[in-house]
Structure 1
């Protein structure tokens, strides 16, 4: 442990120190965390990986704040006027965000492993990336009506989070926003949502109803207990890998308006039948690979179907337009192609 460290302007403390006894913040220091926190970060994840995110922060025993631009109160660093909550460096179990706070900065409560509940208010307009990453004891969160976007990684690793209350004006759930929220069984998505990519490794999630305002669907890999997905006419694309490793997914509708099903989107699943709409233009390679219960498929359009899209599926009935032609490898039964996902 470094006994005393004097903070430098724009210094990323987490890169240089694991533990600090006393952090001295000089008079001239300003802390801006719009893109990167001085106190915490995380290791970039491989593309297809179910392992928990490796996040880290510098442990601080005491802070000597002399900055003209920072307020230190109750173990938390704020901007001078307390409109920005910068970083909570003392362990908390319960916390009420002060009414003056408008912005919770990225990584503000990262790895607060004892934090069980936190009360947010309706004057907060922004919650930064990874603000609650790794808060393993957090069980319930209500997103204020003044917050319109859930940023990337916000609740990643909140393994005890059971209840999330979202309001209908939220437009975005960012990449990995609820990744590894392993206790989350259900969630009602906002009616005005237009971007969704946030639920990988939600092992307890059973059913999801995706509103018609969402055009592109992504971010449900490794939801191993997901049984049912409800889609609406607004969806245009199910993106590559969207439901990869959702092996218990038995029920999903493919509504009119859907144009694309991406590569490995449902590899594998538990579907028995699939009916594809007249609007469908393309199914990507290996989209339904190793769907070992898929017996019936029906095409209403002359869609392009990629290599191995239905490889190793026991399909016994196919209905399609008369002029629709499949490539040689679409239904191949050779399990050696990519059974163990070597190129994921």
Structure 2
């Protein structure tokens, strides 16, 4: 087969090492006797292998936007000659599932892997002196800066205590991310860090409010920011998102006037859970809507006498509960509060019958 060559304004082309049905031309430029990969024509797909040399010159960098929108690209092999990856080099490569960075990489541009919604992990050669990876997440070598969270990772994530800063767009587009816990060591968060994280509902801060801008949660509409009551710099909102309290024992809550409403727990409770009657000198008077929704590993709950109301779906689906004692102070129980708690065999009321919504014990045998 004849090799195609293109020379236009210093841009050359090389045939990619791909199956016949996926062949494309690798575009590059030459400067100071080194090669920068600038893209491909047509867009790269399948398994992309970047050569270490072209025309006997070392391939040292992947240029800015080089493979943006190459949605058919599934894997990339980078040679040990590569020292830099440009800004947004693999932007929106939605089919890319894994990336391995060689020891030679010393510079990665901002948002290099932004929008890679299928990316499950980034691996860095242990000999790399600039970058490292932990659980597939990209950090600087000392792991004091979190650079990129793969867009295809799902569930909850706790940032290591060593981290002090989070880079621009680090979590951008991680739609499967549900919650993030940030250690007290975090002092700065970059622009658009948690933007477009549509599945993100909870962000937990263990320390004071960090330096950031108002756009870190842009287009992430469904989240609440939780913080410790004894930390500083917080208000009713943070970066345009509502805040609530995260107490030392993991309970979540909000202050209404001079009383506390329990709104959940991080992580979800297992085994026995005791709700305190006071927290930081304030009475705990209510359990909020959906507070322990789906906590199926919860086996018992102790509700204090200070509680006056239990919200809608507060214990919905807590199938591990076998009995509940409702103290005499409770005057209202919301709809579906104990729905599908199908392990319940007894509910004991210590006071008068409270007002209630519909289906409080729906789905519970004998209710």
Structure possessing the higher radius of gyration over alpha carbons = 2
TM-score normalized with structure 1 length: 0.48
- Larger RCO, structure (CA 8 Å, separation 6 or more): 1
